[in-house]
Chain A
Amino acid sequence: MPKDSGIGAAIKRREDARFLLGSGRYSDDITLLNQTHAIFVRSEVANGEINSIDTSEAEAMPGVLAVFTGEDFVDVGGNPAGWLINSRNGDPMKEPKRPVLAHGKVRHVGDAYAAVIAETEQQARDAAEKINADIKELPAVIDMASALSGKNFVHDEIGTNQCYDWGWIEDNREATDKAIKNAHHVTTLELVNNRLVPNAMEPRCSIADYNPANDDYTLYTTSQNPHLTRLLISAFVLGIPENKLTVVSPDVGGGFGSKIYHYGEEALVLAAAKRIKRPVRWTATRSESFMSDAHGRDHVTKIELALDKDNNFLAFRTETMANVGAYLSNFSTVTPTILHGTLMAGNYAVPNVYVNVKTVFTNTAPVDAYRGAGRPEATYSLERVIDKAATELGVDPIKLRRQNFIKPDQFPYVTAAGLNYDVGDYDAIMDRLEHHADLKGFAQRRKKSEAAGKLRGLGINSYIEACGIAPSNLIGTLGARVGLYDAATIRVNATGNISVMVGAHSHGQGHETAFPQIVADMLGVDPDNVEIVHGDTSKIPFGMGTYGSRSLAVCGSAIVRGVEKIISKGKKIAAHMMETTDDKVDFEEGVFSVKGTNKTVSFGDVALKAYIPHDFPIEDIEPGLEETAFYDPQNFTYPAGAYACEVEVDPDTGQVTIESFAAADDFGNIINPMIVEGQVHGGLAQGIGQALLEGCTYNEDGQLISASYMDYTMPRAADLPSFIVDHTVQTPSTDNPLGVKGCGEAGAIGSPPTVVNAVVDALRSANHNVTHIDMPLTPERVWAAMNN
């Protein structure tokens, strides 16, 4: 086994060829015979009462096959929240129904209340304009603070706009309050974690096919987790038996969280396909994506950091309002709580942490997990308040962080926010960062910038995240309504090559390349002989999909367990072939051998024998060589890192440019460093986008102002620098057999505070008394901060 082809090798991606040649197969590329087209009619007002919907004119339009309204779905279920969060007083969260199509009320701009099915897309669009809805516009609930205090409700039936009032950890509250009250120094910061639109480049698309003879359905859809989508549709929304519904997610053009969730459009095309007995397809326009994809972030936070006279951290106390939008999207309730509150100790040995989160309904699109999901919000609050404290105390921000880091000999370390960090070495990461960031040269670079009339700033951050979102027994106690294991089936074919069916879904992450590296390493075969099958519930075991940087740690570990079973079975077959017992058989580099002898059989021969078992002792050994493993870890994984960013600010305009960006991360063991680096680059771009460019804006009437790329600023090539990334610090996770931690979200988590810290540093260098600017740091905001 050449070392450069297994675990740790930067193997080029095998999936690239099809994408580069234009042969990818995304949902919208699929054409079904006799297909029809669905168009949704969406609310133009943020809050409105549906008095009536007259569909008669639309139904009479050419090519129209069916029209649906909310009335058609009153007898089916709603799209549920996947996680029960209880309030501090023990009350369960409020869970208003989220119907397939709005019924009675429309609750956000873009809320679909009708759908037209027609022979062509244009006919459906033409007919959709003829639906005459009498919708009485009501005052919109937009601002979170007013939503909590007001009497105008997004859901009248629950009589409040508060979903829950959550405390973490409630038993720590008093001690935290006391620590802050008695502290030598307290730094306070109020900040907004700006609302974002995920903007995977492929818009959502769903195509339903129904076979009346079998009464079964196939749904092709842009999903990060086809089994979860199937489960939600079957168990909660439409009641289609799971065995009668196949969900296929073919090539998917990015997700970033927004394609985790089940959306009403999927249920609609399924119901429509059954009614008209023809395939029904729908592809979102980008404008629809802006209005109807789950958004991300949107917190308003106050955080306090208490320190003693020696600058040791004593407590973090956080109060947050988190916007959940008009309906509970599947993971909307866990994102601002478990994925946020539990990280509020950061990388620090701080004895007291308390977090209060009030999650609020508003007349805006649903908000849910977006790359990082709760952890960027935690990191941003922590790393901004720490930076502010460093300024107030006149200490070096790196020194302050290092002083308070959890030290390597303290692991495993149970934080005051309740997580058990297994391993880490934050000083080693910071050492790598300092190496790349050339801090000594900064003063010189600043002078040079100043000579050119620019302000230069340096921002530092350190972060930790909880990834490999899984352990079912842990998340069960925290309110999860699903298990979060993953699964893999290893099918060794008769000719010795291998098909691996996995529950994870690759939509850019390179699983088709990285997963075979694991199998090849373990079995001593050429990775090209290993094929990954994913994204089709009729082919793969019941896995929970891809999000939360979990695929490698959880599904990759399931692959390991499955391959271990293959080796174990292979030993039995080999023992039979070599006339010995399986405890005397070794397996190494693709060869089975009898201990202490020179007897061997190859893996390929064993595979062939498994399928041609002419002389098998059938009582002891089943034919075939195929194993399935479900893997459920004991703990989260804890990737950590430290980032540095240098910016220039144009004092005349407030324009910020990123001059350099360095990222040092500890992802534990690395399977494919090339893919890891790419994941970090992408995360950094999204985090820098949040910091400088991206802001989803509703006006007070609930109109989405940033409703297209004309107003929502996507990071472009010229907005970003080349990045320095380093992952040489590797403390392997102790909770999975691969020792991996996950790298998909790191960049998006660590970069926003780094950039903001750098800009604030730049302004301070010119004696501007600026302690904070809310993201995105648009030129105007920076200019206004300098001139107020």
Chain B
Amino acid sequence: MYNFEFKQPTTISDAVNLLKSDEAQALGGGQTLIPTMKQRLASPSTLVSLTAISEMKGICKNDDGSISIGGGTTHAEVASHADIFAGLKTLAENIGDAAVRNRGTIGGSLANNDPAACYPAVALSTGATIVTNSREISADDFFQGMFDTALEEGEIIISVRFPVPTSSSYQKFVQPASRFAMVGVFLSKFADETKVAVTGASEGGVFRWSEAEAALNENFSADSINNLSVDQNDMISDIHASKEYRAHLVKIMTQRAIKGAS
């Protein structure tokens, strides 16, 4: 790994200031960034750890019923919190392994936007709002493709605000080696609409399967998507799954999510 200067600010403003320097990079739980740096694929000159910023941690229920989760909150904390809705709990419980869940953070996961990460699916499916040090970004605008987000240089995720669906389900088909999602489908059922977000499958990163949503808004049943399919051409192909198989799994996992949320 290349060397760097390590900084661990305790306030958001200090962190933001430190991130203004050239080639500074934010460090969340490090569960993706540190392995990347070991391969010498990233070479920040300054690493600004966000883990000592207490105002970025914790989970709370807002007056409008939504839930806010601090960007520095670990997956384990999310998984074990009483106020978390079912699908999100399942999702957090199944990220990586126990040790990874004790370090990895929601903010780090969303900022990285790995095409196979789980958190982008729940954020997009629930229509979450990503709150940064400078603005609020809706999930629909936040995810901009594989490893690409609306975050500006030096901008950090302070918290994420999730509208709470009336029912939800996350169905993850794991890539057996990495345990990331080979296909993960998060379905959120709200009073007025259903949203389906798919991770792990697409070259473009997490996406909403709008045809399935339309069908489910019409008739919320697993059968209502029987004749639908996602475009294979957009799917990822690798040694674990072809485009065709991933497209098939998107449908199967969506049907399971429908049943799971019924």
Measuring CB to CB, which residues of chain A are less than 8 angstroms from any residue of chain B?
Answer: 122, 129, 287, 652-653, 655, 693, 695, 697, 705-706, 709-714, 719, 778-780, 783-784
Interface SS, B side: loop
Pair count A-B, CB < 8 A: 43
Most buried by B among A709, A710, A780: A780
Cα A712 to Cα B179 in complex, Å, equals: 11
A247 to chain B, nearest CB (A): 31
Evaluate whether A652 and B252 lie within 8 angstroms (CB atoms) in the complex, with A697-B239, A780-B241 already known.
Answer: yes
Cα A499 to Cα B104 in complex, Å, equals: 50
**CB pair A713 B241 closer than 8 Å:** no
Evaluate whether A713 and B176 lie within 8 angstroms (CB atoms) in the complex, with A122-B3, A652-B252 already known.
Answer: yes
B41 to chain A, nearest CB (A): 12
**CB pair B249 A710 closer than 8 Å:** no
B99 to chain A, nearest CB (A): 13
Most buried by B among A705, A709, A711: A711
Q: B82 near A: Cβ within 8 Å?
A: no
Q: Chain B contacts of A783 at CB under 8 A? A: 245, 248
Q: Chain A contacts of B249 at CB under 8 A? A: 653
Evaluate whether A706 and B239 lie within 8 angstroms (CB atoms) in the complex, with A122-B3, A714-B177 already known.
Answer: yes
**CB pair A287 B252 closer than 8 Å:** no
Evaluate whether A710 and B177 lie within 8 angstroms (CB atoms) in the complex, with A122-B3, A653-B249, A783-B245 already known.
Answer: yes
Cα A695 to Cα B240 in complex, Å, equals: 10
Q: Chain B contacts of A652 at CB under 8 A? A: 252
Q: B178 near A: Cβ within 8 Å?
A: yes
Q: B17 near A: Cβ within 8 Å?
A: no
Cα A710 to Cα B179 in complex, Å, equals: 8
**CB pair A778 B177 closer than 8 Å:** no
Cα A579 to Cα B35 in complex, Å, equals: 74
**CB pair B178 A778 closer than 8 Å:** no
20 contacts between A and B (CB under 8 A): A653-B173, A653-B252, A693-B176, A693-B177, A697-B239, A705-B238, A706-B177, A706-B239, A710-B178, A711-B239, A712-B177, A713-B177, A778-B240, A779-B173, A779-B241, A780-B241, A780-B245, A783-B245, A783-B248, A784-B245
Cα A697 to Cα B40 in complex, Å, equals: 23
Q: B11 near A: Cβ within 8 Å?
A: no
Q: Chain B contacts of A712 at CB under 8 A? A: 177
Q: Chain A contacts of B239 at CB under 8 A? A: 695, 697, 705-706, 711
**CB pair B178 A711 closer than 8 Å:** yes
Q: Chain A contacts of B248 at CB under 8 A? A: 783
Q: Chain B contacts of A710 at CB under 8 A? A: 177-178
Q: Chain A contacts of B40 at CB under 8 A? A: 129
Q: B39 near A: Cβ within 8 Å?
A: yes
Q: B66 near A: Cβ within 8 Å?
A: no
Residue of chain B at shortest CB distance from A780:
B245
Cα A122 to Cα B1 in complex, Å, equals: 8
Cα A741 to Cα B238 in complex, Å, equals: 43
Residue of chain A at shortest CB distance from B246:
A780
B211 to chain A, nearest CB (A): 20
Q: B242 near A: Cβ within 8 Å?
A: yes
Q: Mark B232-262, 1 if CB is under 8 A from A, else 0.
A: 0000001111100100110010000000000
| Across the A-B interface, the 10 shortest Cβ-Cβ residue pairs | A713-B177, A710-B178, A713-B176, A780-B245, A652-B252, A697-B239, A711-B177, A780-B241, A705-B239, A712-B177
Cα A652 to Cα B242 in complex, Å, equals: 16
Q: Chain A contacts of B177 at CB under 8 A? A: 693, 706, 709-714
Which residues in window 123-142 of B have CB below 8 A to A? none
Cα A778 to Cα B178 in complex, Å, equals: 14
4 additional A-B pairs beyond A714-B177, A780-B240, beta carbons within 8 Å, are: A129-B40, A655-B173, A709-B178, A710-B178
Residue of chain B at shortest CB distance from A695:
B239
**CB pair B242 A780 closer than 8 Å:** yes
**CB pair B176 A287 closer than 8 Å:** no
Cα A778 to Cα B173 in complex, Å, equals: 13
Q: Mark B36-47, 1 if CB is under 8 A from A, else 0.
A: 000110000000
Cα A138 to Cα B39 in complex, Å, equals: 26
Cα A784 to Cα B248 in complex, Å, equals: 11
Residue of chain B at shortest CB distance from A693:
B176
Cα A633 to Cα B40 in complex, Å, equals: 52
Q: Chain B contacts of A287 at CB under 8 A? A: 39
